[in-house]
Amino acid sequence: MTEILLIRHGETAWNAERRLQGHLDIPLNAHGERQAQAMARALQDTPLDAIYSSDLQRACATAQPLAEVHGLPLQLDMSLRERCFGAFEGLLYEELEMRFPVAYAQWRARDPDARFPAGERRAETLNEFYRRAVEAVQGIAERNPGRRIAVVTHGGVLDCLHRAAHNTGLAAARHFDVLNAAINRLRWTGVGFEVLSWAENGHLVAAMDELGH
């Protein structure tokens, strides 16, 4: 079995203003950088055998402090990227509804086969993204049997893994948190994923208290 610490990247300016990122390469904001440091401190005494990250900079910058405290190389994997949203990327949520009312309704309804209009890149359907995300993390787990690994990725990937572990349909509304820089613990059993704990964020609360927030 493989233990996986699944971590969403820290906050970006686009997260804060509810602008869709997808494959666009947006950096962490100052708050996100503090979250990354707090996450690394929280896990500094947790033995890790390997650290993987999406190649987008918001994930890499979140993973780097963790890699440094453990003295491990950061292994980048494009398959850990967020879902590609096509023409949706770069727009505020309220802009999506105005510009693409039909596609926006499909997105809100979690239509698993809807493909949004193409932008710089061709959009992925939710089904396509789910397969990519789950297969990516499963492949990493299978290459690391009996080890504890960290995987730093994106909110959509966390959503997919939680659903895979609980056998929740893609169209069902999300009833769990997907928090920036929180720690989510899973186990790959060889046949499926199990959630051990979800959305641990005490380290983030403590970090904000230290700063007087």
From 3, 82, 89, 124, the catalytic residue: 82
Residue 128 amino acid letter: E
pTM for the whole structure: 0.95
User: Edge-to-edge strands of the sheet including 74-76?
Assistant: 74-76, 50-53, 148-153, 2-8, 183-188, 193-200
Scan for tokens 């893994």, then name that residue.
161
Domain extents for the chain?
2-83+124-210
pLDDT in single tens digits along all 213 residues of the chain: 999 999 999 999 999 999 999 999 999 999 999 999 999 999 999 999 999 999 999 999 999 999 999 999 999 999 999 999 999 999 999 999 999 999 999 999 999 999 999 999 999 999 999 999 999 999 999 999 999 999 999 999 999 999 999 999 999 999 999 999 999 999 999 999 999 999 999 999 766 655 544
DSSP state of 119: S
Tell me the two tokens of residue 57. 């900079």
Residue 82: active-site member: yes
CATH code of the region 2-83+124-210: 3.40.50.1240
What angle is formed at CA 79 by the lines to CA 148 and CA 146, rounded to 5 degrees?
A: 20
Q: Hey, which residues does 194 pair with through a beta bridge?
A: 187
Feature table: binding site for substrate: 8-15, 58
| Numbered residues of the known binding site | 8-15, 58
Distance between CA 37 and CA 19 in Å, rounded? 24
